Structure 1
């Protein structure tokens, strides 16, 4: 009986140690993910400022913005679908390249909105993102049920946005911006929980590439949340 008690105690102790190690590993993983995400956001800001300070570059962006957006889309698809086959350095280069290109294309916002309102909306975005990220981290509720609603809403926003390129209807723009805030705030919490669960499923096998792809996912949530809020709250020049 003493041996059985000792064995049970040792087994329980080992499980407790494994749980602590897993939590520490998960915390380190999410720290890496957010580290890459914040690095991407910082690079985006720097490139927006560089582009804004160069008149010729800014004019080129305004002229070829649609082509740049297509290049951005291609980089996202490449990083998402080729992630299992590419190394960490390649994934990092693609992510940082995408972040830089996003900064170049977003520089035109300073021609549309006042600098003060852009700064204000950025901090509002950070507050909303932070709130939803904390919720996705601490909630015990399974957010997988949100997936269908969020992705259907995302598809609807994209379709409405494409249609409104030709209609240029302010009411449609307002509705899609409101929907965008809800969808991307929800996706932030959902993606945070999904990344944590993915790490829990793979244990200690999460690679640098996985961290960068996770950073890209959260980066896109943040940027799209920012753009939706900008359309609602931004003060035009």
Structure 2
């Protein structure tokens, strides 16, 4: 089956808008991760610290970590009712909270490992994004396979909370990288198709679906990055 698209100039402008939001969201995440680790006040709010060592995540830290899930659900069910400003504020809030949550990455892994993993994640994302944007193959069937894989991934992760198996954790990270790499191509093609189902003359709608598309790609990238860290990055104590 061939995947056809009309109004290519409008789609390019729209997809560029999606990428711009996504990149700004990732930048905001990075800034808040750095701000968190450089502020003793934030560190004491997010983590339980004893004798200058991080023992666990504080109750407030758990609240910050879980808050993005509620924002993502709000996007999924409430986007049509949101104003553009509301959608933008929620997206920036989501990116900021993710940055605070991911600050632990900078505490656990060496700076060199984090930077090199970012480059690898960017390369994977860029290649699959280009493929998803340019391919004429309909990737709808791939989406069904990826969603089933994601369900299996979540189930395995919950089981491993009790087993604490290093081997299973490694396998989960490998599968996660594969699944979210596939999601990049699937999501960018779906983002293009969604554009054609709305009134392209309504700029407010275009901006809102661009923000929602940016959130999807943002999550794909973050998941690829986090699981690559678990596979490739070197911890500070090693």
Question: Do the structures match in fold with TM over 0.5?
Answer: yes
Question: C-alpha separation between the residues in 2 aligned to 1:112 and 1:163?
Answer: 24
Q: Which runs of structure 2 are paired with 1:166-177 in the superposition (5 Å)?
A: 166-177=162-173
Residues matched between the structures, number: 218
Larger radius of gyration: 1
Partner of 2:120: 124
Partner of 1:223: 222
User: Contact 2:14/2:206 (CA < 8 Å) preserved in 1?
Assistant: no
Question: C-alpha separation between the residues in 2 aligned to 1:160 and 1:212?
Answer: 31
Aligned mate of 2:13, from 5, 28, 31 = 28
Deviations 1:63-103 (A, max 9, x none): 23332222111111112210011011100000000000000
* Higher mean C-alpha deviation, range 158-167 or range 85-94: 158-167
Partner of 2:104: 108
SS in 2 for 1:108: helix
Partner of 1:97: 93
* Higher mean C-alpha deviation, range 52-61 or range 30-39: 52-61
Question: C-alpha separation between the residues in 1 aligned to 2:118 and 2:31?
Answer: 14
Question: C-alpha separation between the residues in 2 aligned to 1:162 and 1:67?
Answer: 19
SS in 2 for 1:202: coil
Partner of 1:207: 206
Partner of 2:32: 47
Q: Structure 2: which 5+ runs fail to align? A: 1-5, 48-57
SS in 2 for 1:201: coil
Question: C-alpha separation between the residues in 2 aligned to 1:72 and 1:61?
Answer: 15
RMSD over aligned CA atoms reads: 1.5
Partner of 1:186: 182
Report deviation, 1:203: 5.3
Question: C-alpha separation between the residues in 2 aligned to 1:203 and 1:228?
Answer: 38
- Which protein is richer in helix relative to its size? 1
TM-score (norm: length of structure 2): 0.88
